[in-house]
Amino acid sequence: MKKKFISLEGRILLDSGILDGSFFNQTAVLICHHDSEGAWGFVLNYQEASFTLSELLGELVPDKFSDMQVKVGGPIGTKTIFCLTEIKLSSEDVVKNIGEINVTGSLNEIFNQEEGIEEENLTFYLGYAGWSAGQLEEELERSIWIVSSASKKEIFESDNHNLWKKKMRKLGGNYSLISYSPHRLSDN
């Protein structure tokens, strides 16, 4: 009997504690798109690197955006900057809509906004995380990921490097125990 497909759009995937040594070790990944063809989203709490828009784009960035942080969103498409925002955008510039949150790769649309630009409603990502058809479902069957809810605060929080630990502790039991492990076991 074939399982019914359930989309995880708008949910967060948590490393179940077995991805040590991989890019996704102790990550919380927001799923922006998920269908039978595959899935993609952004790592909300990647700890290894972050940049500013001006470091990546130089003088192309208006002053009010130059110091805004760009987080590493995943290992795919690392030459592309995406933006998650609650700002209303023209439909041709929206890559994906997750409830009230828009995903765009059109930074000019963001840069040209006259109002509503606050760091609290913009998050920039370099690259994204992606899964081919059936790959995410197979990883879920192997208990690689734990599916969790997502709040706007978690999505837009600028300093959310502890998001994975917080969410694992809320799950309790063994997950809470796992959350106390160092980011790299070699740091132990």
The beta strands (E) that lie in the chain are given as: 12-15, 28-35, 38-43, 50-52, 69-72, 76-85, 94-98, 101-104, 122-132, 145-148
At 147 the pLDDT is: 98
**pLDDT, tens digit, 9 for 90 and up, residues 22-40:** 999 999 999 999 999 999 9
Q: Is residue 3 part of a domain?
A: no
Q: Is residue 4 part of a domain?
A: no
At 180 the pLDDT is: 85
Residue 102 belongs to domain spanning: 12-187
| Percent of the residues in the chain that have a pLDDT greater than 70, as a whole number | 94
Q: Is residue 70 part of a domain?
A: yes
| CATH number for the domain that contains residue 117 | 3.40.1740.10
Q: Is residue 102 part of a domain?
A: yes
Q: Other C-beta atoms within 10 Å of 188: how many? A: 6
Q: Is residue 2 part of a domain?
A: no
Tens digit of pLDDT per residue, the chain (188 long)? 567 888 999 999 999 999 988 999 999 999 999 999 999 999 999 977 779 999 999 988 998 899 999 999 999 999 999 999 988 888 787 888 888 899 999 898 888 876 667 777 889 999 999 999 999 999 999 999 999 999 998 999 878 889 999 999 999 999 999 888 877 655 54
What's the mean pLDDT when you consider all of the chain?
89
Q: Is residue 156 part of a domain?
A: yes
pTM equals 0.91
Q: Is residue 7 part of a domain?
A: no
CB distance 8 to 31 below 8 Å: yes
- How many domains would you assign to the chain? 1
Q: Is residue 1 part of a domain?
A: no
